């Protein structure tokens, strides 16, 4: 059995899970509602306070899908009950980040400011303190969408290895290179 797939998902208070005949799992909670289409071979069992994903055979494909869909359902349960946040740090001289609503405006050393329109499911907050790098905080209930948006923002100016300038995730370690003068 899959080590991850066999674990039951405990439902927090206020979270409900429903499965229709076409294997569409819908999770409702205090922060919103998410749904995910599950492979027709797998079955989702809802007991009192727990959800379990079962697979029909020991095929390699079924084993892989077992852990995948269990994790996707778990992420939906956590998302609608607690939500997810992702912090991005903008480091570099003159680099700025500001937001107005769901529009994120970035000054990343190019000749023009970059304006990113975020999806309505994602909320953004920017924080700029004197002497510190600006921080972009993204939050939402869909972990997959949140990661995709954060990766897209990071791709606008990935961190470079010599001075570490660019956009990086909070806690990310950048492999630094020595530079030309280090060899002499």
Domains defined for the chain, CATH in brackets: 9-81 (3.90.930.12), 84-172 (3.90.930.12)
**Is 120 exposed, middle or buried, given 0-12, 13-18 or 19+ CB atoms closer than 10 A?**
exposed
Q: Tell me how far CA of residue 72 lies from CA of 65, 93, 150, in angstroms.
A: 10, 39, 19
Angle (nearest 5°) at CA 11 between 86 and 17: 95
Q: Rounded to an integer, what distance in angstroms lies between the CA atom of residue 48 and that of residue 157?
A: 48
Tens place of pLDDT for every residue, the chain, 184 residues?
468 888 999 999 999 999 998 999 999 999 999 999 999 999 999 998 899 999 999 999 999 999 999 999 999 999 999 999 999 999 999 999 999 999 999 999 999 999 999 999 999 999 999 999 999 999 999 999 999 999 999 999 999 999 989 999 999 999 999 888 765 5
Token code pair at residue 1: 């059995």
Question: pTM for the complete prediction?
Answer: 0.89
């Amino acid at each position: 059995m899959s080590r991850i797939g066999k674990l039951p998902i405990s439902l927090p208070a206020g979270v409900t899970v429903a499965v229709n005949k076409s294997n569409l799992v819908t999770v409702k909670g205090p922060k919103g509602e998410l749904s995910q289409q599950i492979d027709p071979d797998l079955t989702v069992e809802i007991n009192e306070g727990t959800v379990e994903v079962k697979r029909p055979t020991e095929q390699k494909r079924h084993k892989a899908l077992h852990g995948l869909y269990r994790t996707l359902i778990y992420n939906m349960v956590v998302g609608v009950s607690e939500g997810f946040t992702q912090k991005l740090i903008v480091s570099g001289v003159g680099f700025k980040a500001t937001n107005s609503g769901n529009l994120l405006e970035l000054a990343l050393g190019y000749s023009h400011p970059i304006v990113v329109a975020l999806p309505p499911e994602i909320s953004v907050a920017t924080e700029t303190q004197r002497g510190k790098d600006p921080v972009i905080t993204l939050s939402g209930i869909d972990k997959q969408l949140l990661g995709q948006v954060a990766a897209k923002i990071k791709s606008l100016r990935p961190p470079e290895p010599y001075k570490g300038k660019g956009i990086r995730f909070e806690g990310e370690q950048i492999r630094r290179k020595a530079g030309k003068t280090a060899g002499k």
